[in-house]
Structure 1
């Protein structure tokens, strides 16, 4: 049984890898800058939670002391300009920390890439990080994957929404480039097996599924599995990667800063050149999971609301990560508040059901057009907008995404606090709480809090304050009415 440290545990792959490592009998140390974001994971109580920034040498060295295998699942994809330099600095720091801490092996999940001199910035950065770790002096396994097929994967979600929302589309030349996608379950199997590689292994491995397909073929195959009519795909030569990424960010939930590096990488053909990983992780008796089966499994997870992690688990670059200050007169400055209370003719548990279901497909219970416009403006300014939706339509856990909010705190049955990740000249939170009343019914409390940044923040608050009565007041009335409706349904006599 090895002691393994996993970085990137709040992300898509890291959050799925931890339970697989536990099932394999390893002791897991989950390393995160803010371990509080892991509170809602069902495995949080079975791992050692360590607070550390992989870019801080002292913190990283302390976190890796006593570790046999360290998983490096960190990247700055979608973080804007200069992400390559951030990736480089963090990898160099982590490599030194692992060497000085006496780590036995580093495992890194990178990107599959061709041997050409003009790689996209994303793939070039993934390649460079792998080379840094291989030269660290610590035996390293670099797994290089192309498109990962799984519920919640950014690449999968991009393909899914393009195919579902556009029965006919014009596409760039890269739609006919060859790709070797791989199912997330096979990626996880290779990652777990890498922990047991002998110490003399220090190399990269190409990993891919059993089929090589073009992006056009993948969209046609997805449509067939999903029961959609065959899509009309017309290739044109005038769509640059930049234009393509803007188009993708408008049609899919994937925001522009993340869509652009993904699209830029699609200009390359990414096909495995070897399958040497099978010497250390033999193929299952039934073989690697094929494209159709991977899509079918992912869609089943989505339909059953059983998506363990999503690409949106990673924070939006530039979004606030600090918790809501408890003191209105804290050192960072005064906070603007809009507080509202509504008496509801329904018990607290009925109101709580409504609070937990806000956002996503259900919406925000007030002035839908205003929310859609705000979401569109956010997307145009580089934010996530409303299209991220939510992982589960009924329940929320800490760190879940709800449109352009993120769950910061949940007190079951009592309080839900959301932290804004839309583009704002300041920091914002929305708190929804319910309290039972002695005489029956309950009180719904809603607090919007804003900490402005400079004059722009002040102007923003006072410009939107006149609309709070419509937006937040409407939310109060809408949620109260929905709770009363649900309560009436449960108490109505059956026919």
Structure 2
């Protein structure tokens, strides 16, 4: 605070702005009057956020000292909201090294404070018995606390908010399984917290006194078991009573697969979360309230947090989603805009269709593809491909859409990722399903020489090894049915919306 009682305006660096918490924190910091700089590996993913024009976006990676050093210049408060969860067996080493680099560069740049959102750890449990996920979160906090820069480590358990991985797991398990045989960890006590309280503590931590260098447990007012959480979710959502039968034979590993099959959360994320749920995570103090006082009605209770999350989902107002962050190992390079001879083979399936509808109507159909609207061709084939992807550890089709009508760069769209949008003209999707290669799907809304609309579609596949080539040739006989049907039905749908009963010829 300044001497006159006003809040100090900080220059804040936010890492993880493409993720669930980071994407929600940025507008909260702006609303509090702070200046914000975002460090992102792929700045283009932030391009379509409504707040992008109000922040500075720089390219970089927390594992790269040079880019972190440049991003830290002139920064007062640095938010560390990244982790390597789901990237493989070496994620603990990656997290440790990245946190060390971040702390070193913050100290060298004269940063006044680091704020880190970690995981709540159980009392009295040695690090060797923690899940790798919780152990790594705790270690990152220790590294930052020892960096020489005053650090606030906020430790939260399950975060309840529309779009969070924890909320999605809870929602899908409860809604899809009226009778459940569940792991024994459903009886473990947890202290969940509403996402709005997490954001309030994160913003408020920028004003902590300089001498504060410690961890803070943050949680809501309710201590519940996961079983209670599912039953209370059913009550708040107006669902019939759920029959839940805990059994001891489902190990954390099997639990991860079980969650991955029932929910849209991939196994790479579901497994470490399931492993963490075997530990009781309850706050041991609420000291954060001394520095960030709780306003009336806060912390938000569990049932209220559920109601708020469900309201946001029903109104399609999910600002960020757990799937906003890229799936580890998803394809990135080369780009389909590279020349045909670059990077080896590039298989292409092209379709075109004249459309008796204005380009803007055609574009609305294109932008609305996926999720509940489907893919306009052979639903059984798309569903089968999604199930196969889930069985082999991929994301499947169940991620859906963040928004029912609008897309932005970086959004997940079933088992695709929005890689590029030229509003009114181009939508490019990059595949994140398990494939022996890299794949894209491009859809164009154009105007032909006769003044009519033309829909142009291009599917591209960059094979990896012999298996990739075999994959393409094994599925190519079905392209006329899948991709050809998609082009025809998109044209037909656009024509129908424009009030034309007959689609134009091919």
TM-score by length of 1: 0.97
Q: Residue in 2 aligned with 1:67?
A: 75
- Distance in 2 (CA, whole Å) between partners of 1:10 and 1:262 is 20
Distance in 2 of aligned mates of 1:323 and 1:35? 17
Structure 2 residue corresponding to 1:21, chosen from 17, 29, 51:
29
**Residue 302 of structure 2 corresponds to which residue in structure 1?**
291
Residue number among 382, 402, 412 corresponding to 2:393 in the alignment: 382
Give distance in 1, aligned partners of 2:362 and 2:457. 12
CA distance in 1, matches of 2:241, 2:395: 30
**Structure 2: distance between partners of 1:101 and 1:305:** 41
Q: Distance in 2 between matches of 1:287 and 1:466?
A: 58
Match of 2:331 among 320, 330, 342: 320
In the aligned structure 2, how far is the partner of 1:103 from the partner of 1:380?
Answer: 46
Unaligned runs of 5+ in 2: 1-8
Q: Is the 8 A contact 1:328 1:335 kept in 2?
A: no
What is the match of residue 30 of structure 1? Answer: 38
Paired residue secondary structure (1:230): coil
Deviation (angstroms), 1:323: 6.5
Query: Deviation at 1:72?
Result: 0.3
- 3-state SS, counterpart of residue 488 of structure 1: coil
Of the three residues 460, 466, 478, the one matched with 2:477 is 466
Output the CA distance in 2 between the equivalents of 1:137 and 1:368. Answer: 56
Matches within 5 A, 1:174-193: 174-193=185-204
1-structure distance, mates of 2:297, 2:169: 28
Alignment check: 8 A CA contact 1:323 1:408 kept: no
Of 471, 490, 498 in structure 2, the residue corresponding to residue 487 of structure 1 is 498
Deviations 1:319-365 (CA, angstroms, capped at 9, x unpaired): 02346242323542242111110111222112111101111111111
Residues 1:208 and 2:222 aligned together: no
For residues 388 and 21 of structure 2, what CA distance do their matches in structure 1 show?
30
What is aligned with 1:54?
Answer: 62
Report what 1:261 is aligned to: 272
What displacement does 1:85 show? 1.3
Q: Deviations over 1:47-72 (max 9, x none)?
A: 01111111011111111121111000
Question: Who is 2:322 aligned against?
Answer: 311
Matched, 1:409 2:420: yes
1:50-449 to 2 correspondence within 5 Å? 50-115=58-123, 116-117=125-126, 118-322=129-333, 324-329=335-340, 331-437=342-448, 439-449=450-460
User: For 1:167-220, what per-residue CA distance to the aligned partner results, in whole angstroms no more than 9, with x for missing partners?
Assistant: 110111111111000000000000000011111000000000011011111111
Decide which moves more: 205-214 or 88-97: 88-97
In 2, Cα distance between the equivalents of 1:489 and 1:291? 50
Match of 2:10 in 1: 2
Give the Cα separation in 2 of the matches to 1:250 and 1:328.
39
8 A Cα contact 1:356 1:395, kept in partner: yes
Distance 1:489 1:203 in 2: 66
Alignment coverage as a number of residue pairs: 491
CA RMSD in angstroms comes to 1.4
Q: Aligned partners of 2:468 and 2:107: how far apart in 1?
A: 45
TM-score (norm 2): 0.95
1:42 aligned onto 2:50 = yes
Counterpart-to-counterpart distance in 1, 2:457 and 2:260: 31
Flag structure 1 segments of 5+ consecutive residues without an equivalent.
Answer: none
